[in-house]
C-alpha cells in the first residue's frame, strides 16, 4: 500500500505531542483571552478549538476574558462619553450597567456559544455567579490625594471550589471580568488581573496571556530582542528599569503575582497566530515569552 507522506508527518506530530499530553493531563491551565483573537472570527474559532482539544485529552482549561472594544462600541452607540484617569475608565453607575451588559451578557455568551457549537461544554460566568470574584473598590492616587474612579475594582477573593467543581464535571468555565463587592454592587476589573487571581486561586500549572504582540522585548523596536524565557527575578528587574512599560505592565504584574502565589509557569504569547495556545502547550520550542519562578525552570 502506498504511504501518504502528509499522513505520516501528521502521525509523527501526534507522537511529538504525546509527552506533553501526559505531562499536563489533569492539570489546570488558565488562559486570558483578549486582543485581536477576540475580534477576528477565524482566530476566535481557533482558540475555541484549542480549548476543546485540551479538554479532550484530559487538561482543564479556564478562560478569562475582557472586552474593551465591545464596551467602547456600545458606549458610542448609546452616546455615553468616557473619561479616563491614569489609563482607567472612570465608571459611574450608568457606565457600569453598560459594561456588565456587554461583558456578561454579550461577549461572554458569544464565546460560550462558539465553544459549544464545536462540541465543547462551555459555561459562562461573571464574578457575581456563586460569588466567584469578590471585589473591592479601587482608588487611584494623584499628588498624594485619593481619586475615586467609580465602579472599578480589584480582586479580593476567588471561589476556587466552584471552579474546581465545574472543571472536574467536564465543563470549560468562561469568565467575564466583573466582580461583586460586599456592597452588592458590580465592579469592572482589569481582565489581566482577574485571570492572574484565578490562576493563583486554583494553583494553575500554566497561566497563558494572549496578546497582540510577539511577547516581551528588551527593546520593542528591535524584533530580534524577544525574550523567550526569563525568571521571576529578572522580569522584576526589567520592570524596575522601565523596560516593561505601557500595556505590558498589567500583564507582567499579574504574571508576577500569580507566580509568587504558586502558579507553576506564566506565558505571554501572540494571540494573532492561529492555535498559538497549542503551540505553547504541546511543543518544545513554544512561542512568546515564558516566565519561570527561578533558574531551575517551571515546577511541574
Instruction: Give the span between the Cα atoms of 124 and 169, in whole angstroms.
Output: 15
Contact partners, residue 159, CB within 8 Å, separation at least 6:
130, 131, 132, 133, 134
Report which secondary-structure segment, H or E, holds 109.
Answer: helix 108-117
262 belongs to an annotated ligand binding site: no
Instruction: Give the span between the Cα atoms of 233 and 293, in whole angstroms.
Output: 8
120 belongs to an annotated ligand binding site: no
Are 175 and 126 spatial neighbours (Cβ–Cβ below 8 Å)? yes
In the block, cell 458569544 appears at 110
Report which secondary-structure segment, H or E, holds 187.
Answer: strand 186-188
Bridge partners, 155 (sequence order): 135
Instruction: Give the span between the Cα atoms of 273 and 276, in whole angstroms.
Output: 5
In the block, cell 479538554 appears at 55
Distance from chain centroid for Cα 62 = 9
188 belongs to an annotated ligand binding site: yes
Cα angle: 221, vertex 251, 179; to 5 degrees = 150
- Dihedral sign for Cα 293, 296, 299, 300, please: positive
246 belongs to an annotated ligand binding site: no
In the annotated binding site for substrate, the residues are 67-68, 89, 188
In the annotated binding site, the residues are 67-68, 89, 188
Amino acid at each position: 500500500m502506498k504511504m501518504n507522506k502528509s499522513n505520516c508527518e501528521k502521525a509523527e506530530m501526534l507522537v511529538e505531542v504525546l509527552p506533553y499530553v501526559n505531562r499536563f493531563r489533569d492539570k489546570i491551565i488558565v488562559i486570558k483571552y483578549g486582543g485581536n483573537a477576540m475580534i477576528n472570527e477565524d482566530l476566535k474559532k481557533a482558540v475555541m478549538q484549542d480549548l476543546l482539544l485540551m479538554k479532550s485529552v484530559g487538561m482543564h482549561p479556564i478562560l478569562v476574558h475582557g472586552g474593551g472594544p465591545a464596551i467602547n462600541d456600545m458606549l458610542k452607540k448609546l452616546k455615553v462619553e468616557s473619561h479616563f484617569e491614569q489609563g482607567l475608565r472612570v465608571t459611574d453607575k450608568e457606565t457600569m450597567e453598560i459594561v456588565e451588559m456587554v461583558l456578561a451578557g454579550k461577549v461572554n455568551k458569544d464565546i460560550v456559544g462558539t465553544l459549544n457549537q464545536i462540541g465543547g461544554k462551555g459555561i459562562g460566568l461573571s464574578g457575581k455567579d456563586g460569588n466567584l470574584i469578590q471585589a473591592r473598590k479601587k482608588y487611584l492616587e494623584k499628588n498624594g490625594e485619593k481619586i475615586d474612579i467609580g465602579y472599578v475594582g480589584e480582586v479580593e477573593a476567588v471561589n476556587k471550589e466552584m471552579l474546581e467543581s465545574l472543571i472536574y464535571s467536564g465543563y470549560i468555565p468562561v469568565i467575564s471580568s466583573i466582580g461583586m463587592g460586599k456592597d452588592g454592587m458590580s465592579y469592572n476589573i482589569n481582565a489581566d488581573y482577574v485571570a492572574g487571581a484565578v490562576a493563583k486561586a486554583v494553583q494553575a500549572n500554566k497561566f497563558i496571556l494572549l496578546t497582540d504582540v510577539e511577547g516581551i522585548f528588551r527593546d520593542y523596536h528591535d524584533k530580534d530582542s524577544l525574550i523567550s524565557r526569563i525568571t521571576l527575578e529578572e522580569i522584576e528587574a526589567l520592570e524596575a528599569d522601565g523596560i516593561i512599560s505601557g500595556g505590558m505592565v498589567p500583564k507582567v504584574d499579574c504574571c508576577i503575582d500569580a507566580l509568587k502565589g504558586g502558579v507553576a509557569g506564566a506565558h505571554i504569547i501572540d494571540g494573532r497566530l492561529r492555535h498559538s495556545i497549542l503551540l505553547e502547550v504541546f511543543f518544545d520550542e513554544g512561542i512568546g515569552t515564558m516566565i519561570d519562578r527561578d533558574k531551575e525552570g517551571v515546577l511541574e
